[in-house]
Structure 1
């Protein structure tokens, strides 16, 4: 059953599993102290959803902010990568304790789950995460997930918990992802402008929708922004998951948004298989394959990517790596698992099957990227 209203997020018939993402600025005040009264109200809403039979998974920011306050780090712990890692190491303990305490007040057991980008990019580890989330659900536990910022570097991190929430939604088989923000949702322009209009429903995150976003996080405390939320919506919509953005600054914010019917709902656009949803949600391609117009048309008709259509190869990668597929104008068409290394791709670039063996020294494979290992974006 499709969730097409905000009220559907708390309807157990429409939404069996909900991923709820909370940003740093909502959870922690400017002095680095937890906003305990606000959190108590939110957790009472979580308890009510669970009483209705819903499974709730929390994706919570706040470790860096909490740790930086304890260590008295400059710029909220974000002056350098090492400051952020140290702050996260201290703050993760405080964050886990905070969630455990408030959930325990409603007789709800909590679990901490720290992940890195690699944990959800590599298929086996992704399935392990999925299995853990499933078992926690069976045990009646609320999983509190956060990026493991104490070990993540700039090259191997999500960088925001919005996209992490969408990926956790995939791994958990969630029906919806709810992002609590400091604005009501997506506006058609800067929300501070008088003419700005809130967009209630989005059917597909198009380039026009992306153009409405601003990159900055208004609080200065988090690392996301509206662009990150739209990227999360793209991940969700391909996996058959509804994503919503509401204003989280009010007391009992979910009930307040539903009562006012105010927020932005991103409707699913397709429901890929589990493997293709995972492929489409991966965020770190190791290279780029550029193809000609004929190949673009063939890919649009469901064909595999063949060497004859390759015009350019960027990056260094091995067979089995994730690569991004671009058209001649740089437009991103899709991504998939490549059947050759970067050097082999360059060797057979533009060649038809009959001419590839001489370059490779062995019988060529059926495709450079097979359609079964490719997802269109």
Structure 2
């Protein structure tokens, strides 16, 4: 199956800074107007579209005359984001209004999509806006985000938004037109990879450079975004955004790289699988790995050691003996009690803990295999 943007009832479109903002720090208004025209045409045809838009820091840095594009320090980036976001949102809202569409603004931090309750609140807001035919304009809330609570790039934010919005597709409009066998800027023999069925097959091909110097992602971030989106059941495409009407051009040509999603997982499993942060890790033995892959819960007997500080209900990684990540899940024990019971049989737990134990360290209903 070839990913077609027109075939997705819900679509997330991510716009990179280098496409939206010119080197002088001004919005490329004609280009953006053409993208908005594409969005309007699709919306009138019944498609629901959310936009993840970069550009706030680049815009704000010019207005504040900040060095290094506003990225010389966290404080500069926060000030630039606060200043640029209002200009960015105003431009989007004005151009959408000209097409008869209403815009909404959502600013999110990593915690908003990693905390289950806040994730559900964000998902409910997105769903209502899209059902009202509003176009949400989404960005990371860089004016308050710190290194500990930020995505760091809008590619991964777009992928997480796709899961929250229950979108079937994501398009990353970029200054590169897809994933290549090598860096096309340095290797003339590099060829475009049009379709990726499994991300493991192409790991190592991407690098972390951003061609324009304006963005914060690079191809590594895009591959990680593809991992998150496909885990939530959404296809993801990387497509070149240069030139007018980029959505229509991609729909017509199909030129880019499409990461194909498997059958979608239940929403809770998709949230677990797509998570970016974990409070700790539980290292498990080979027998436990087989049991998890057979659909069973993680019992204390299969655990070998724990890392990190976590409470009951926190998200933890389950790690195989070779160091690979087997699953993510919500732990039934805090780290102190987990340390007491690892490697122990179920009939020993009550005496060790002094209270009636829970049967699993991580229950299968609160776990997603990776």
Shorter-normalised TM-score: what interval? over 0.9
The answer for the alignment partner of 1:196 in structure 2 is 190
The answer (yes or no) to whether the contact 1:117–1:157 under 8 Å persists in 2 is yes
How far apart are 1:29 and its partner, in Å? 0.9
* Number of the residue aligned with 1:130: 123
Which residue in 2 is equivalent to 1:119? 112
Q: Is the CA contact (8 Å cut-off) linking 1:322 and 1:336 kept in structure 2?
A: yes
Q: What is the distance in 2 between the residues matched to 1:317 and 1:273?
A: 25
Question: Who is 1:263 aligned against?
Answer: 256
Distance 1:73 1:347 in 2: 53
Number of matched pairs: 369
Segments of 5+ residues of structure 2 without an aligned counterpart are: none
- 2:5 alignment partner in structure 1: 9
Aligned runs of 1:304-343 on 2, under 5 Å? Answer: 304-343=297-336
Instruction: Quote how far apart the aligned CAs of 1:263 are.
Output: 0.6
Residue 165 of structure 1: CA displacement? 0.8
Question: Aligned match of 2:344 in 338, 345, 351?
Answer: 351
1:173 counterpart = 2:170: no
Q: Would you say the 8 A contact 1:186–1:213 is kept in 2?
A: yes
Q: Does 1:163 align with 2:156?
A: yes
Tell me whether 1:292 sits opposite 2:290 in the alignment: no
Which one of the candidate residues 13, 34, 53 is aligned to 2:27? 34
Deviation at 1:312, TM superposition (A): 1.6
Any idea what SS the aligned residue of 2:184 has? coil
TM-score, with structure 2 as normaliser: 0.97
Please tell me whether the aligned partners of residues 43 and 133 of structure 2 are also in contact (alpha carbons under 8 angstroms): no
Structure 1 runs, 4 residues or longer, greater than 4 Å off: none
The whole-number CA distance in structure 2 between the counterparts of 1:128 and 1:58 is 18
Give the Cα–Cα distance (whole angstroms) in 2 for the partners of residues 148 and 256 of structure 1: 30
Say whether residues 1:83 and 2:76 are aligned partners. Answer: yes
Q: Which residue of 2 aligns with 1:184?
A: 177
- 1:250 aligned to 2:243? yes
What's the offset of the Cα at 1:237? 1.2
- Contact 1:325–1:335 at 8 Å: present in 2 too? yes
8 Å Cα contact 1:288-1:325 kept in structure 2: yes
